[in-house]
Each structure stands twice: as structure tokens, then as C-alpha cells.
Amino acid sequence: MTQNNPPLTTTNLVLGIDTGGTYTDGVLLEYETRRVLATHKSLTTKRDFSIGIEQVIDGIRIDDPSAIKMVSISTTLATNAIAEGKGKRVALFLLGYDPDLVSAFKMEHRFATPHFYYFAGGHDLYGQEKEPLDLPAILQKTSEIQNQVDAIAVSGYFSPLNPEHENRAREAISRICSLPVVLGHQLSTRLGSIERATTAALNASLLAVLQDFVIAVRRAMERRNIIAPLMVVRGDGTLMSDEFAALSPVETIHSGPAASAMGGRFLSGLDDMLVVDVGGTTTDLALVQNGQVTVSEEGATVGSYKTAVKAANLLSIALGGDSHITLNRENELVIGPERVTPLAYLAHEYPYVNAQLRSLSKRSWMNTGQDWLEYWFLLRQPQNDSLLKTNRQKQLVALLQDGPKPLPDILRQLNVFHASQLEAGELFRQEILARAGLTPTDLIHVEGGYTPWDVDAANFALQTFSRVCRSTPDDIRQQVWRLVTETVIRAIVSFLTNKPLPRTPPGQAESLGDWFFTNSLYDLHPQLETRFRLRYPIVGIGAPAEFFLREAARLLHTDLILPEHYQVANAVGAVAGSVMVTEEILVYPRLSGEGLDVVGYYVQASDERLEFEEAEYALAYARTLGKDRALGAAIRSGADNPQVTVEEILDGLDTYRIRAKAMGNPRLAK
């Protein structure tokens, strides 16, 4: 899907690419005017993101590659790798951590790796050594596990206040093995020991993953003669060079939703808004205030892992254009959370599916079940037989060589009673097989709102599903859109209030919160009127946004804004951000031997620690050091003429955090 505007006579073009859960979007902009020249959408290939990226670059049809002065990418690669357990194997060395305390509070599962080991060492709240570092034990464990893992992460207790033990451990490990070593204090100056250890382990697990991704993108650029800086979107919407991203891949957590928020702000021209990005798989919410995406200071959470990484404050729900519409065990209509291929698209690719759905729509409800609307199909050929580990998997792949089949046919031909007997889970995860089913995208085809694929097939599928539900197609459409609207509004209220708004379980008395929610939407009470009113407009992002958000905006008594090119705003956001680097320096007291008197102050940077007699001199040095380091790092990360601001934060009794931020526009190729 490509859109091209008349070309401009210019030499400064930038290419933005977003790899989402369903689509990879690309946009070509003229940098000075920020005019969108061309856009393209391609299906995301999760098994190899670079395939979808190359298809987008080809689809945009760049006439003069030398005019591209920057390429910037937002990616869900890190988030997906963590959520799906596809990161590399990591050993986590914990220096000075109390194993009994960690066990008592059941925090072991938060370390993001099962291979964690405790060693003597670490420091206290004032940067003093708790106990000597046990280097012999560290070296022995390294020798034991170096062939069983791909990287080592080291996190010392209170290492932001004194990283000496982490640094010594890295030096010792590097002398006897060649594995990459990640240090916790280099990723976060926050004192939360569990979050810092988790962040170090996740970063180590993602090193090879993101480095391979960057190499693949670079090769795609080289094959098309694009010689330009490559930038990657951070989780807070700012940009960093590909070299920085390869060293700190954990900072790309939530990169995609952050780019969407930046794109919404850029295209709408508004400073205050609620950005709602409706994709094929998820709907993401982000708040923009005073022109900036709000950032969570508590650290981003991915799956069950809480990190120390600053990222956009957002909420993601499993609702999108390709969410599967089904009946649950209680015969209630549900949407998602699973994402499937729309039947309209499947029939467009395989015309015989249209005939099958037509025949299915004429059956009586007694001879029809919703399983007949679930098709399985071969997405790609297995690269080698080792991916097919059981005879059942081999039989299934062989059966689907002829094309998509409805699930009941598959069960019958393979002589099994239930889908679980097909042992297909890993084949879906590896994107060898895929599912198709009824989705909101199919309903949009039926309604004529978006019709690139087989409208008749979508109609036949809806007729069949309505017969299964003993209802009419119109009633089913109304139920689906009502459920979509309620789900979106419930998510918005929960996100903005930071309070859960769960539905009352069946059989229980309706809670006051649930009553207020329902009455605010449908005005049911004869005496009491309640309502929600959103003070900011909703800026819709993503192709299905108009259909998912129109009624939600009306019920929230606010405006829905769909700016030009809102369908690819996430790719616009990939090039709309600024380069920003933050450097934090800690200043804290040095105590007397008895620990009773303050006899000086430490200035602790990531790789140096200095002593001063007076707080005034320590703070002055920290400000200068932070400013210089932030400026240098921003320039190395690709900023053009960055400006630096310095903030002094009281971080406890006689303890200060000096935060220097350097920000500038990305530097373009000459």
C-alpha cells in the first residue's frame, strides 16, 4: 500500500520506518518543510524484521538514494523478544545481594534469567564497601558457565554510589572469557537493586538481538545505496544513534508506541492530547502535555519484568483491527486477545476460500460452528526439517501445502479430536503457520469503510457467525462496535486515573465503579445523570482509528482528530523526535570512620569518583562534569548543536542528583 505525492526538488530527505506488531510503515519526508512525500505499508515479518523493512524501502521507490540524509527506525523488537522469551541466554552475577531477602520476598522471578548467582561484595548507602569482593568465586563460576550462556550481566548492591566492584568483576571476567559483560550502574543511577539487576540482565539478553537487527538494516540501506546516519527511537520518543542502540538495546523498550505519540503530536500540531494508536494487534494510549510525551519515572514494565528504563508512560491493550471475534465458553461475544489474519484478506489471496465461506453461510446453524471460521494456513516453508520435531507437525505442514483449511477439516483429515493434539504451538510462534478468522477489519469491509480485499468473503463470514450466535449480521456488528467502544473507554479511564476498572464478574452484584461506567455511557438511571468528559482531544493513529474511536470520543464528550497521514503517524514519529542524552551525577556525604559525622562529599559519575571537602565545590564540579558529559554523548549519538540544561535534585539528606540533559536535532548526512 503506497501513497506518493508530487516530488519536491530537494536534497534533504529523511526516511522514517516503524516495525509494529502487524504492519511495518514507512514515510519519506522533506526535512526542512516536514512535508510527507510518500508512504508505504507492508506486513511485519517477526521472524526477520529486516524483510518487512526492505519491502517498505522498495515500496517507497526512492529515485535518488543520495538525497536520503537520515534513516530512523522505531521497533518492537526488544519488547517482543522479552515478552516472547527470545532474548539470548544470560548469567546474572549479583554482588552483595542478600539471597535470603530476595527469596523471602519471592523476587527471583524478576531477574529475567534463571541463571543468577550470588557473590560476596557490594556497598552500603554511603558507598562504603560492605564486604570484600569474592573474585575467586566469580572467576570459578565464569569458567563453569561461559559455554552455557551468551552474555554476562553484573549488578552490585548500591553500585550507582560506588561501581568499584562491578568494574573489578568485569575486568576479571574479561581476562578469562570473551563474552560481552554488561554492568548495572552504566544503565541506571537509580538505587532500586532488583530493577537495576533486571535491566542489566535484559540488556545483556538483547545485545546480539539488536546488533543483528542494526546490521540487517544497514545492509538493506547499503544495497539501495542509502548512505546516511541510522537512528533508533528510544522508549521515551527521543532518538539515539544505531551505535548507542546496539550497546543499550534495553532503552528501545516501548519504542513503537513512543514513536506513535511523537507522530501524533507532529501531525496534529497540538501540544496537549491523548494519542490513541490502533494497530492490527494492540491499541496503545499515550498522553502528550506541553508538547512532550509523558514519561514514567518509575521505569518501564515489559511482561512481568519491571526495569529501571525511563520510557513513555503508556497503556497497551490487546485490541486491534485484526483481533479475533469469537464466542467464549459462556457464549458471550469476545474480541481478542489473539490476533488473526482477516478472512477478507485470506480470501483475496486464496479465492477458493470465498467459495467455501459462501457455502458455509448457507448451512443451518445446527451444522455450523464457529470453528469453521478459523482457518489455518502455511505462512512460510520451514527452512529445515529440524523445525518439525514431531510426526504430527510434519503431517500438519504437509496437509497445508495445498492451501488454507478450516480447523474442523484439519482435525478430520489428521484423525484427531482437538486442536491441542496437533502440537502446533511452536509452529505458530515460529511463524511457519498462521490463523485466519473473523475480525473488526472484516466488519469494516462489510460496512464499506475500508475495502482493499474480498468484501463478499467478509459478508459470508459475518452471516455465518451471526447464525452461530442465533442473531442477525446487523446485531452482531452493533455488539462488536459497542464492545470495542466500551473497551477503549475503560482503558482510557484506567490509564488517566491510574486506577483499575475491571468488569464485575458474572453472578456478582454490580460494583459502584461498573455502574458509574455503564450509566455514564448509556444514561440508564431515571434520576442520576453521570458522565465522563475528557478535557483533551483524542488524536487517532493507525488505519482502524476512525472506526474504533469515533463513538468513544462522542461518549467522552471530546473531539476526535485524525490528522493527514494518521495511518502512518508512527513512522512519522520515528523521524520527528530529537536526540537527547541524560547524564546523572550523584553527590553524597563521606562519613567519618564511626559513621557519625560528615567529613566531605563524593562526586560519583559512572566511571569516576572524586572527594571534596565542601558540598558547594562538589556540586559545582558535578554540574560542570554532567554538562560536559551530556554534551559529548549527545554529539556522539548524532545530535546537531545540542543545548544542555542542568537540574539539581535533592535525593535524600545531604544527597543530590545532578541531571544534565543535552538535546538537539538529529545530524543529517552532508
Is there a contact between 92 and 182 (Cβ–Cβ < 8 Å)? no
Cα-based angle 452, 457, 460 (whole degrees, multiple of 5) = 140
Q: Provide the 3-class DSSP secondary structure of residue 512.
A: helix
User: pLDDT digit string (tens) for 246-297?
Assistant: 889 999 988 988 999 999 999 999 999 999 999 888 899 999 999 888 988 7
> Position 557: which residue type?
H
Least confident of 131-140, 305-314, 348-357, 371-380: 305-314
As a whole number, mean pLDDT of residues 186-195 equals 87
Among positive and negative, which fits the CA dihedral 464, 470, 474, 480?
A: negative
pLDDT over 70 for what percent of the chain?
A: 97
- Tell the residue number behind the cell numbers 456478582, with chain if given: 508
The whole-model pTM stands at 0.85
pLDDT for residue 505: 80
Is there a contact between 347 and 457 (Cβ–Cβ < 8 Å)? yes
Q: How many CB atoms lie within 10 A of CB 597?
A: 10
Q: How far apart are CA 81 and CA 79, in angstroms?
A: 6
Q: Is 594 exposed, middle or buried (0-12, 13-18, 19+ CB in 10 A)?
A: exposed
Omega of the bond leading into 337 within 30 degrees of 0 (cis) = yes
DSSP state letters, 283-344: EEEEEEETTEE-EETT--EETTEE-S--EE-EEEES--TTEEEEE-TTS-EEEEEEE-EEHH
Is there a contact between 511 and 501 (Cβ–Cβ < 8 Å)? no
pLDDT for residue 466: 95
Q: How many CB atoms lie within 10 A of CB 535?
A: 10
Is there a contact between 295 and 187 (Cβ–Cβ < 8 Å)? no
As a whole number, mean pLDDT of residues 118-143 equals 94
Q: What is the mean pLDDT of the chain?
A: 90
Using pLDDT thresholds of 50, 70 and 90, give the confidence band for residue 2: low
Q: Which three cell numbers stand for residue 43?
A: 506486513
As a whole number, mean pLDDT of residues 153-159 equals 95
CA distances to 136, 608, 622 from 647, rounded to whole Å, are 42, 20, 11
Can you list the domains of the chain with their CATH numbers?
A: 90-206 (3.40.50), 332-468 (no CATH), 579-666 (3.30.110.70)
pLDDT for residue 328: 92
Half-sphere exposure in the Cβ direction for 611 (13 Å, CA): 8
Using pLDDT thresholds of 50, 70 and 90, give the confidence band for residue 604: very high
Q: How many CB atoms lie within 10 A of CB 380?
A: 12
pLDDT reading at 9 higher than 70: no
pLDDT for residue 663: 95
User: pLDDT digit string (tens) for 387-419?
Assistant: 787 889 899 999 999 999 999 999 999 999 998
